[in-house]
Amino acid sequence: MSRLNRQQRPIFCYVTDRSALPSVTDASEALLAKIREAATSGVDWIQIREKDFSARQLAVLTESALAKVSACNSGASRPTILVNDRLDVALSQKADGVHLGEKSISVEDARRLADNLRSRSEPPFLIGASCHSLDAARRAATSGADYVFFGPVFATPSKAAYGAPQGLDLLADVCQAVPIPVLAIGGVTELNAASCLNVGAAGIAAIRLFQDALDLPDLVRTLRALRLR
């Protein structure tokens, strides 16, 4: 059973990519500033996805990100911080969860390790998985994932390696087939976000949509106000 409570409002997840930020002297500091902006703008989740970082670098970034969002939002209102792929870093830095890719540790092993290494008094530790097919989404849900990212829904350069866009029809099939939240990812924009939510997605995850926004608070307000069927 998913550790996520059912939400009435969509989940918006900012996935980081400091390499896509404008060239600056200290990309990590620029990324932390963007994380802080996302936290104050009402983004629900932030997935730290800096795949070229060593474990030590990622741990430092995660620790700093948690400090940034805690300073902006008190108590339970702060965004959920997820670490991409590195379960060890997510656990050592007491992040809120880990997001697993196709080549990551399995959902079952991640859950077993997290349960063994965390005390029962700690908040639930989320485990999510990226899925690119209906079968993969079903396997993730059966294995104990709390949520899945499904995509790419639309064409996007960052997901080109995963093949052609999956489209809204397949997104709808996945949303109906699994009992856990499904977040749409891949080419999601302000213009097509509503179409993802209308076919059953519990939210959207994106890099550029949030990271490149000229006015992130206004974007989040716009997304929150989408007219859904």
In 3D space, the residue among 27, 38, 85 whose CA is nearest the CA of residue 61 turns out to be 27
45 CB contacts (<8 Å, ≥6 apart)? 11, 12, 13, 14, 79, 80, 81, 82, 205
Residue 224 has phi, psi (to 5 degrees) of -65, -30
Distance CA 126, CA 224 (A): 23
Q: Where are the alpha helices (DSSP H) in the chain?
A: 27-41, 55-72, 87-92, 107-117, 134-143, 167-177, 193-198, 208-211, 216-224
Q: What is the pLDDT of residues 139-148, one digit of tens each?
A: 999 999 999 9
Report the pLDDT value the prediction gives residue 76, as an integer from 0 to 100. 55
Indicate the pLDDT class of residue 159, thresholds 50, 70 and 90: low
- Residue-wise pLDDT for 93-140, tens only, equals 999 999 999 899 999 999 999 999 998 889 999 999 999 999 999 999
What pLDDT was estimated at residue 162? Answer: 63
Average pLDDT in the chain: 92
C-alpha to C-alpha distance for 138 and 140, rounded to whole angstroms:
5
Rounded CA-CA distance 38/210 in Å is: 8
Which range among 77-81, 144-148, 194-198, 199-203 shows the weakest confidence by mean pLDDT?
Answer: 77-81
User: What is the reported pLDDT for 25?
Assistant: 73
The two three-digit tokens of residue 132, written as one number: 């690119």
158 DSSP assignment: G
Q: Please state which of the ranges 18-27, 90-99, 165-174, 213-222 shows the lowest mean pLDDT.
A: 18-27
pLDDT, mean of residues 180-198 = 97
Q: Read off the pLDDT of residues 19-76 as tens digits, 9 standing for 90 and up.
A: 999 876 789 999 999 999 999 999 999 999 999 999 999 999 999 999 999 887 655 5
CATH 3.20.20.70: does it fit domain 11-224? yes
